[in-house]
């Protein structure tokens, strides 16, 4: 009971609680997918603003990244959940998802910026010399190459987003960590319950890592 680990209790709780954790894992995955998709879109947009030659757009992107990276994720979740969800009538799920998306978008923006700037400037000049506009050159020449280079750090950021989804527990989202808290409070098998939820997180992270590695291998083969 409490802080003393017992293997028999662990095994029985692992079998008994799997339906609860399975449902919570699905909520965690949905939170992560929504956050990653929205965060990637916002992040790419912010990256392009930061690379803009129009200085006010560059300043705006820098201010956004500074604010988001300089404040804790839990504060951002609370601001959206308590400050905006009432006025905008956001559900708990979307309040947490948007907070995760906004938080991750600042880091994703820097990933895309670095990937785009790593492409030789001569390729932009070559595209322009062929009569392409700046935006067309970006879309057809620069971005495909930058996207390949961005995959490994993006994969790491997606894994971070998956683990960060556990902060949804602080606004009573029934994801994995909140479910573990509820079960531990009801059974007092604290150590066993949190080891079980750690296993579920580990499985999800390993699955996501495998997917990212497969995408990297596919992109590597497509370049040959």
pTM of this structure: 0.88
Q: What rounded mean pLDDT belongs to the chain?
A: 89
Look up the domain containing 187 and give its range.
7-222
Count: domains in the chain? 1
In a domain, 129, yes or no: yes
In a domain, 1, yes or no: no
In a domain, 89, yes or no: yes
In a domain, 109, yes or no: yes
Which one, of 124, 118, 119, 117, lies nearest residue 138 by Cα? Answer: 124
In a domain, 134, yes or no: yes
Q: Domain with 126 in it: what CATH number?
A: 1.10.3720.10
In a domain, 2, yes or no: no
pLDDT of 87 reads 63
CB burial readout 36-59, b (16+ within 10 A) else e: bebbbebbbebbbbbbeeeeeeee
Q: Give 139-192 pLDDT, tens digit per residue.
A: 888 888 888 889 889 999 999 999 999 999 998 889 999 999 999 999 888 999
pLDDT of 4 reads 77
Distance in angstroms (rounded) separating the CA atoms of residues 146 and 119: 7
């Amino acid at each position: 009971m409490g802080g003393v680990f017992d293997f028999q209790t662990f095994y029985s709780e692992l079998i008994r609680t799997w339906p609860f954790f399975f449902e919570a894992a699905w909520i965690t995955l949905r939170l992560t997918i929504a956050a990653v998709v929205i965060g990637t879109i916002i992040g790419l947009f912010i990256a392009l603003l930061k690379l803009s030659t129009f200085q006010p757009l560059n300043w705006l992107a820098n201010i956004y990244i500074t604010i988001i990276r300089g404040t804790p994720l839990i504060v951002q979740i609370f601001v959206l959940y308590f400050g905006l969800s009432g006025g905008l009538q956001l559900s708990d799920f979307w309040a947490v998802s948007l907070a995760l998306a906004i938080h991750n978008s600042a880091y994703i923006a820097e990933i895309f910026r670095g990937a785009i700037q790593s492409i030789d400037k001569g390729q932009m000049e070559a595209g322009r010399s062929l009569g392409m506009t700046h935006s067309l050159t970006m879309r057809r020449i620069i971005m495909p190459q930058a996207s390949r280079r961005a995959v490994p750090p993006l994969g790491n950021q997606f894994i971070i987003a998956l683990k960060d989804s556990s902060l949804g527990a602080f606004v009573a989202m029934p994801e994995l960590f909140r479910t573990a808290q509820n079960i531990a409070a009801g059974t007092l098998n604290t150590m066993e319950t949190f080891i079980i939820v750690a296993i579920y997180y580990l499985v999800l992270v390993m699955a996501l890592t495998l997917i990212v590695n497969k995408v990297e291998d596919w992109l590597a083969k497509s370049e040959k």
